[in-house]
Structure 1
Amino acid sequence: MTETSTPDTSTLDSSARAVTTGTAKPAKPTRKVGSRRSGPARILLPVGLAVAAIYFLFPVYWLVIAATKSTGSLFGSSGFVLSEPQLFQNLENVLTYNGGIYLRWGLNSILYSGVGAIVATILSMSAGYCLAKFVFRGREFWFNVILAGVMIPGTALALPLFLMMSQLGLVNTYWAVLIPSMVSPFGVYLGRIYATAAVPDTLLEASRLDGAGEARIFFTLVLRLMTPAAVTVFLFQFIGIWNNYFLPLVMLSNPDLYPITLGLVSWQSVSDRNPDLYQLAIGGAFMSVIPIMIAIVSLQRFWKAGLTEGSVKG
């Protein structure tokens, strides 16, 4: 037979007395690892962010101050001090110069950026969805080809695109800028990564069993699930097309087809003969920043979700 060991009654009695009299020492709280940053890190991180913010906002500050000055004050006073503000007069001069050509450039930029970004977003999301959810021969090969397109700079493709558009007779037309703007290799990459994480296979199978076609599944179901990624691609593509200068420079020679970027450079290039155009170029640059700021502020919540959603879904 096995013997049962009896507990030490003296130890139990002393422990009980300690609890009843309140002399027992409370357990020390456990400290979470990494819950608090060290002293230098708490100081350096805000300082680094503040320096980065100043670095990026410094040109905007100069642009705002310069847009309020007259041509004489622009060259005769400090570029960082406000003097003789006449912002509205300067903007009126920009909008009315040469029969309002700046408004036409603005509409051209909206056309290139808006249509190009919308079409590029739809194509990118559909291509990414197909690469993520359909199995076909050569799928990884074509995906690697698209990834290679991400690493090729746009300036390297400008001459081949010009030769291609020249063969098609599209040079110096809206299509010469629109067609290249409708392609986004980064959007296809992001679309595949996001579709893999956010679109469940069971949901697609249930939709197919209910009789829904592939086009209906994509536009009514998949595109809604991929909204954060779609908005992210749209924002990146819109900003990239709006700020694009080299492609319109190669493709266009008619000033009526210029976007804002190319139009402002055309003003600045002849400002040595007409100094007033220098101030007009600065005022036009100030106005060209406003649509970008509106797009970023209105779509930033979708943009943040689009960058982080795929990393937290398994």
Structure 2
Amino acid sequence: MAVATAYVLIPLWWLVVGASKDQSQLIDGNPLWFTDFQLFSNISDLLNYRDGVFLRWLLNSVAYTGGAALLGTLFAGMCGYALAVYRFPGREVLFNIVLGGVLVPATALALPLFLMFSQIHAANTFWSVFLPSIVNPFGVYLARVYASASVPADLLEAARIDGAGEVRTFFTVSIRLMTPALVTIFLFHFVAIWNNFLLPLIMLGDEKLFPVTLGLYTWNSQVDQNPELRGLVLIGALISILPMILVFLSLQRFWRAGLGTGSLK
């Protein structure tokens, strides 16, 4: 476990150390230890480079990821709940189709999606990245499994007897019981969209619409022609992982609550 931990943390440590150095120290200095700590000046240089284009990329990633992850979690939770609670013809067939969607790699869907959006003249727009990112077949699968185990049929029947409709029952009763699963779905979906690279690469040509992953890739591909970008790529990569860390730290209490509730049942 110690070896595995070091294997994971050493690249992150190298990134933190590299982000605190200037250009000459990146090449000649110790790659795993600090020399002159210039992290904050490097951050200032990054945010001011080309009129703050990196900040625009970061806001684009927040818009793509935050909205799509929230909507994708809601839709996946509702779909998984319906597949778990209701009995209707074709339910298992529909669920098997969803499972098939889990098995299809995203790379296989990127080109067909581009052709579809091109036909409706929506390629190279915000929606060409946002709308495909909402779909989350794995979230539907996870929501169904969790809803089957955590939402008692007797509780739903009691809510119906009290006069609650199906939509109200879901949003006032069931969604609270499914909170740990929904948080898990949101985190998986958030990370997947934030790190998504291929879809924006295929869909977008306007630099102003780039997410931070694609923006840093374009800079990194220009390092040979513009060496000063090497340091900007490092500090940009460090900043780009901070939102994921903050989201994980802020939502982990819901996991703990779900685990504690399950241990008492």
Q: Same fold (TM over 0.5)?
A: yes
Structure 1 residue aligned with 2:171: 219
CA distance in 2, matches of 1:303, 1:178: 27
Aligned ranges for residues 1-314 of structure 1 at < 5 Å? 49-303=1-255
Deviation at 1:85, TM superposition (A): 1.7
CA distance in 2, matches of 1:175, 1:86: 38
Q: Per the alignment, do residues 141 and 311 of structure 1 end up closer, same or farther by CA in structure 2, a change over 3 Å counting?
A: farther
Provide the alpha-carbon RMSD of the alignment.
Answer: 1.7
Which amino acid is 1:213 matched to?
Answer: G
CA distance in 2, matches of 1:252, 1:309: 44
Structure 2 residue aligned with 1:28: none
Runs of 4+ aligned structure 1 residues displaced above 3 Å come to 303-306, 308-314
Q: Which runs of 5+ in 2 are unaligned?
A: none
Deviation at 1:313, TM superposition (A): 9.0
Which amino acid is 2:190 matched to?
Answer: F
Deviation at 1:302, TM superposition (A): 2.4
Identity across matched positions, percent: 51
Q: Which runs of 5+ in 1 are unaligned?
A: 1-48
Do 1:191 and 1:229's aligned partners in 2 also have CA atoms closer than 8 Å?
Answer: yes
- TM-score, structure 1 normalization: 0.81
Q: Per the alignment, do residues 270 and 89 of structure 1 end up closer, same or farther by CA in structure 2, a change over 3 Å counting?
A: same
Deviation at 1:168, TM superposition (A): 2.3
Q: Per the alignment, do residues 313 and 200 of structure 1 end up closer, same or farther by CA in structure 2, a change over 3 Å counting?
A: farther
Deviation at 1:190, TM superposition (A): 0.7
CA distance in 1, matches of 2:102, 2:11: 28
- TM-score, structure 2 normalization: 0.95
Q: How many residues align?
A: 265
Which amino acid is 1:145 matched to?
Answer: I
Which amino acid is 1:266 matched to?
Answer: T
Do 1:228 and 1:302's aligned partners in 2 also have CA atoms closer than 8 Å?
Answer: yes
Which amino acid is 1:122 matched to?
Answer: L
Do 1:95 and 1:101's aligned partners in 2 also have CA atoms closer than 8 Å?
Answer: yes
Q: CA offsets per residue over residues 281-311 of structure 1, 9 Å max, x none?
A: 11100111111111111212324666x6898
Deviation at 1:273, TM superposition (A): 1.1
More contact order relative to length (CA 8 Å, sep ≥ 6): 2
Which amino acid is 2:37 matched to?
Answer: P
Deviation at 1:200, TM superposition (A): 0.7
